[in-house]
Amino acid sequence: MLRTIRIHDQHWEAAPRARRDDWRTTIVDLLDDGGIGDRHDSLVIHASSEAVMLTLDGDDGELRFTIEAARVSPLVAEYLHVIRRMQAEEVAESSAKMQALDMAKRVVHDKGARVIAAAAPQLAAAHETYRRLFTLVLSVLVDVTALPGAAAHRRHVGY
């Protein structure tokens, strides 16, 4: 069972505290989910301008998955556009417009989950786990805590 998820040291050490705290929150969500790497102990995430690399390590050896930046970048741009709109809107969180934006954010998460699942099919069994992993991948690629719409990143309208 997966015990640790780490962001590659290069990213971790360069990140401000707020960003590391955001990563910790997402990592705890993924570990609590329990759906990654049933025969592996650790997952390391590393991102470059070309790709995101996911490396599982454990008693059964190492598994590496690569997700090309060209597959993830359009989703990152779409997601950031939605959370910026959520932050900019001057309507109540319970409004139909805000609910529509929250749904758009969920749709992007679903697309991101499918992209990661296609690139790393042995990583997890559940779609929800891949959705959580997309959240972490997104926050490794972009410092969402530095965006004007950072609060919208964690906000989910209830319905």
User: pLDDT tens, position by position, for the chain (159 residues)?
Assistant: 788 999 999 999 999 999 999 999 999 999 998 888 777 899 999 999 999 999 999 877 889 999 999 999 999 999 999 988 888 876 677 788 888 999 999 999 999 999 999 999 989 989 999 999 999 999 999 998 887 655 545 544 443
159 within some domain: no
**What would the two tokens of residue 101 be?**
């934006």
User: Rounded to an integer, what distance in angstroms lies between the CA atom of residue 157 and that of residue 89?
Assistant: 14
User: Rounded to an integer, what distance in angstroms lies between the CA atom of residue 4 and that of residue 30?
Assistant: 10
Question: pTM for this one?
Answer: 0.88
Could you list the residue range(s) of the whole structural domain that residue 22 is in? 4-154
**What would the two tokens of residue 119 be?**
């690139």
27 within some domain: yes
61 within some domain: yes
Q: Which of 104, 140, 141, 116 is nearest to 35 (CA)?
A: 116
Number of domains in the chain: 1
93 within some domain: yes
109 within some domain: yes
CB atoms within 10 A of CB 118: 11
Looking up tokens 């690629």, which residue turns up?
141
41 within some domain: yes
